[in-house]
């Protein structure tokens, strides 16, 4: 693949690395999540957008959709942990409503 790059001397290996095996989240963390006063888990519900404050530097609310209805929920903190594809989808959907959010990274 890099045959034309003479300045690269040495052996180049291509590989795929996996960092961890899939985790059954409910089995491993279910009791802790249910008892938390700071975490709300909604099964079968998707975050479709984040609504930012006027300056675009903080999330004020998230839009939820369970397939039947939508709900806008005020939040104090958000953890984006949907993996590479879903996290990117959520950030792009948010930027559609808050264009200034992409001001730091125009490629988003």
pLDDT in tens, 31-65: 999 999 988 888 899 999 999 888 778 899 999 99
Q: Report which listed range, 6-15, 61-70, 83-92, is most confident.
A: 61-70
Q: Are strands 46-52 and 70-74 parallel, antiparallel or unpaired?
A: unpaired
Q: Is the pLDDT of residue 4 over 70?
A: no
* Contact between 8 and 2 (Cβ < 8 Å): yes
Half-sphere exposure of 46 (CA within 13 A, CB side): 12
81 versus 102: which is more confidently predicted?
Answer: 81
pLDDT category at 94 given cuts 50, 70, 90 is confident
């Amino acid at each position: 693949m890099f045959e034309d790059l003479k300045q690269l001397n040495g052996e180049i290996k291509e590989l795929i690395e996996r960092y961890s095996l899939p985790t059954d989240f409910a089995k491993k963390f279910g009791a802790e999540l249910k008892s938390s006063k700071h975490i709300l888990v909604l099964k079968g519900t998707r975050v479709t957008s984040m609504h930012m404050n006027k300056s675009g530097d903080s999330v004020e609310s998230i839009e939820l959709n369970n397939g039947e209805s939508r709900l806008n929920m005020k939040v104090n903190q958000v953890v984006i942990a949907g993996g590479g594809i879903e996290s990117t989808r959520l950030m792009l959907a948010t930027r559609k409503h808050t264009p200034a959010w992409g001001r730091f990274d125009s490629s988003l």
